[in-house]
Structure 1
Amino acid sequence: MDISTKFGKRVKAIRLKKRMSQGDVAKLLDVHRTYVSKIERGIENMSLKGIEKLAKAIGVSVGELTK
């Protein structure tokens, strides 16, 4: 499994654990829901700043997102 797919699966698992929809995350990041979907499927990549913003938005550390 490549790193983008692994990261996306981690994002999805954390999002579901926090009982958030893709739409909820998209609103917090000020992006479209389909962008969140593409990240979760490993189709899109996030910048380091984007990863930091995502972690803060869903209440986890960057380390937790990337482990």
Structure 2
Amino acid sequence: MQKLLKHVSERIRFYRKAANLTQEELSELLNIDRSYIGKIERGEVNASLDTIERIALALKVDPFELFHKQSKGTNKDKRDFIEKINIILTNQKIEELKMLYDVIRTVQLYKNIK
């Protein structure tokens, strides 16, 4: 059980930082004590599923993502960047997403020309 607790706590910290939130800001969103968020992220307390779900919703990720374990052989850094980008994209309007898509396609096309 300790491995799961450590894994979930690391995922919560990862998504909080990716969302550019401090522990204090997250605790305010959840209306819980900041020190409790710290204990959760350090794996010192076993948060309830209800609390984990509330954290996930505040971080705008699917609660299952907090339990998701990357399979061996994947590029962790690449996956982390994709997850960070996904968090940013979640908050964008459709027009902004279309513009960002065009930028990505342009970069990809330019890269293929070189």
TM over 0.5: yes
Q: How many residues align?
A: 67
Q: Which amino acid aligns with 1:10?
A: R
Provide the secondary structure at the position in 2 that maps to 1:60.
Answer: coil
Distance (Å, rounded) in 2 between the aligned partners of 1:65 and 1:47: 13
In structure 2, the partner of 1:51 is 52
2:29 corresponds to 1:28:
yes
1:1-31 Cα distance to aligned partner (Å, 9 max, x none): 6211111111001111111000011011111
TM-score (norm 2): 0.56
Structure 1: 5+ residue runs without aligned partners? Answer: none
Structure 2: 5+ residue runs without aligned partners? Answer: 69-114
How big is the shift at 1:44? 0.9
Distance (Å, rounded) in 1 between the aligned partners of 2:7 and 2:36: 16
In structure 2, the partner of 1:61 is 62
Let me know the Cα RMSD of the aligned residues: 1.1
Identity of aligned residues (%): 33
TM-score (norm 1): 0.91
Q: Which has the higher contact order (CA 8 A, sep 6+)?
A: 1
1:33-54 Cα distance to aligned partner (Å, 9 max, x none): 1100000000011111111111
Distance (Å, rounded) in 2 between the aligned partners of 1:5 and 1:21: 20
Provide the secondary structure at the position in 1 that maps to 2:45.
Answer: coil
Structure 1 stretches of at least 4 aligned residues deviating more than 6 Å after TM superposition:
none
Structure ID, larger Rg: 2
Q: Which amino acid aligns with 2:53?
A: E
